[in-house]
């Protein structure tokens, strides 16, 4: 009888809690994230309906105007200030492209290239790196220049690089001038606007111009839904949960012991994986709903057996940009081994700086570059792998994976820490080999709705076991995360698998679970870059 009453009360409390959280967080004035009520239930349906209706009545140009307008609304919803910046950026770059059509001399192309680089990199420098530069200038020369504390526009690194690639190719004669609405649609297409992938004009504009893409394609649309929902699940049900541990852990850097440090960095390793992987899947899914195929940007990097292979799988379009527009112009691998090493270090240094204006990002990027250089030296290879230049020593694939995964974990101390001192302290925590029981405090931050019934039951019947239950929950999430990275990725599932009734029910269940859990909405990590 007593147990029945307890169970009834727990169930009632859980229902009330869920309803309260749902009502508390259904705020349509919040940021329009992919994982928000406003985006899922208002913005996306309206945009899809408007796009296909206008195309149905063969108002093709108006459809692109509508899509560009909705994309600008999506971007400006975060901050109207952002909207002014992207509009100016688009206008200047398009004007420069137009001017190049009327001045086809080598001198004009060189001048256009100079102006394009100066404007785009100058815009990026001012909003993203000005304060960082001034801070270091003040430190180096004991100066007292005033910091501006400039608000960083979302996604400025993405749409700047996107337009920069177009302007460079225009000046080199590799790209044609497009209509204004085609160009605006290419830059602002909302699935890739905020956090990538960094798309190229030649893979996007032809798709927007192809009238065959204007009709609803059931296969593309269903694949898009699967990609979006499973990506949403990665973000909300895995990344955002692990973020609770990560945020608390890195705020307690100087008080962590060795076991809690290991748990925190593993949690962050999987958080950033599922955050970026989830966003990439959602972006590709949204694109397919509009019959637009976005380039693959994330392809199971934690399966890699070398750091070089990892970076062939992680943020693939950023790597493509740096290889095409920095590495190759610097000489690539065709000017000797020493020059190749230097060029590799340069692009990874820039990659680190691209991720953020801080020495921690620079240290992280340089570390990745050194490890890739080591791979390129061909001293150690993986058994059974085809090699252009045979290595002197070979190790099994499982050992290569352990070393790669371990090195990447350690490098993330720099990527996530607020300062170099914080990153160094995390290394010290590992080396200290001490135990203070901090891991129970770290694990207790996983106060998620799914754990509510167990927590309440333990609070009544065995409160002394609550700490162990939280630790078990954290270990379960880490084990689940590890299991997930060893399975087929979402792209493989969507491409190779038929959408059976069982999969439909599974996708529906994930979606419902995500909607119920939208109270845990947080921004995507790559929005910060």
Asked if the bond preceding 197 is cis, omega within 30° of 0, the reply is yes
CB contact burial 430-464 (16+ within 10 A = b; e otherwise)? beeeeeeebbbbbbbbbebeeeeeebbbbeeeeee
- Find the DSSP H helices in 290-437: 307-313, 316-322, 337-355, 359-376, 397-416, 420-432
353, 357, 359, 362: CA torsion to nearest 10: -10
**To which H or E segment does residue 285 belong?**
helix 258-289
Residues 77 and 80: their CA atoms lie apart, in Å, by 7
φ, ψ for residue 403 (rounded to 5)?
A: -65, -45
CB count, 10 Å around CB of 299?
16
Q: Which of 315, 355, 389, 394 is catalytic?
A: 355
**To which H or E segment does residue 382 belong?**
strand 380-382
Residues 35 and 275: their CA atoms lie apart, in Å, by 11
Residues 488 and 241: their CA atoms lie apart, in Å, by 22
Number of helices and strands in the chain (H, E): 25, 2
Whether 102 is a known active-site residue: answer: no
Angle between helices 359-376 and 397-416 (to 10 degrees): 160
Residues 282 and 39: their CA atoms lie apart, in Å, by 12
Residues in the chain, how many?
A: 529
What are the residue numbers of the active site?
355
């Amino acid at each position: 009888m007593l147990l029945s009453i307890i169970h009834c009360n727990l169930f009632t409390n859980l229902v009330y809690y869920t309803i309260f959280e749902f009502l508390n967080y259904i705020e349509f004035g919040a940021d329009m994230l992919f994982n928000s009520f406003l985006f899922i239930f208002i913005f996306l349906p309206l945009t899809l309906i408007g796009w296909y209706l206008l195309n149905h009545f063969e108002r093709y140009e108006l459809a692109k105007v509508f899509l560009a307008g909705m994309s600008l609304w999506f971007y400006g919803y975060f901050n109207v200030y952002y909207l002014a910046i992207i509009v100016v950026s688009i206008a200047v770059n398009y004007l420069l492209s137009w001017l190049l059509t009327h001045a086809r001399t080598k001198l004009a192309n060189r001048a256009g290239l100079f102006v394009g680089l100066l404007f785009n990199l100058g815009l990026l420098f001012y909003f993203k790196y000005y304060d960082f530069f001034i801070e270091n200038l003040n430190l180096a020369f004991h100066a007292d220049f005033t910091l501006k504390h400039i608000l960083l526009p979302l996604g400025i690194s993405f749409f700047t690089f996107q337009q920069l690639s177009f302007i460079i190719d225009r000046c080199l004669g590799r790209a044609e001038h497009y209509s204004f609405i085609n160009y605006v649609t290419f830059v602002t297409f909302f699935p890739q606007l905020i956090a990538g992938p960094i798309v190229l004009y030649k893979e996007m504009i032809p798709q927007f111009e192809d009238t065959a893409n204007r009709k609803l394609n059931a296969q593309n649309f269903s694949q898009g839904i699967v990609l979006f929902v499973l990506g949403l699940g990665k973000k909300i049900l895995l990344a955002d949960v692990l973020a609770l541990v990560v945020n608390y852990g890195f705020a307690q850097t100087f008080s962590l012991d060795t076991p809690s440090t290991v748990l925190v960095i593993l949690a962050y390793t999987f958080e950033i994986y599922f955050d970026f992987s989830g966003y990439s899947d959602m972006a590709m899914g949204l694109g397919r709903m509009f019959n637009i195929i976005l380039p693959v940007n994330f392809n199971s990097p934690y399966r890699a057996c070398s750091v070089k292979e990892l970076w062939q799988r992680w943020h693939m379009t950023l790597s493509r940009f740096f290889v095409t527009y920095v590495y190759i112009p610097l000489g690539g691998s065709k000017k000797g081994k020493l020059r190749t090493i230097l060029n590799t270090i340069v692009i990874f240094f820039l990659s680190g700086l691209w991720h953020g204006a801080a020495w921690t990002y620079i240290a992280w990027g340089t570390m990745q570059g050194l490890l890739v250089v080591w791979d390129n030296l061909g001293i150690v290879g993986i058994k059974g792998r085809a090699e252009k230049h045979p290595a002197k020593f070979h190790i099994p694939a499982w050992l290569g994976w352990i070393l790669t995964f371990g090195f990447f974990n350690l490098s993330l101390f720099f990527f996530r820490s607020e300062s170099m001192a914080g990153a160094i302290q995390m290394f010290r925590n590992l080396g200290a080999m001490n135990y203070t029981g901090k891991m129970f405090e770290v694990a207790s931050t996983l106060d998620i709705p799914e754990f509510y019934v167990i927590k309440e039951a333990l609070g009544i019947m065995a409160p002394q076991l609550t700490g162990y239950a939280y630790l078990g929950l954290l270990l379960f999430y880490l084990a689940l995360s590890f299991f997930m990275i060893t399975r087929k990725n979402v792209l493989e599932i969507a491409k190779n698998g038929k959408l059976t009734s069982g999969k439909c029910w599974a996708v529906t269940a994930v979606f419902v679970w995500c909607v119920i859990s939208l109270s845990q909405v947080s921004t995507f990590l790559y929005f910060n870059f």
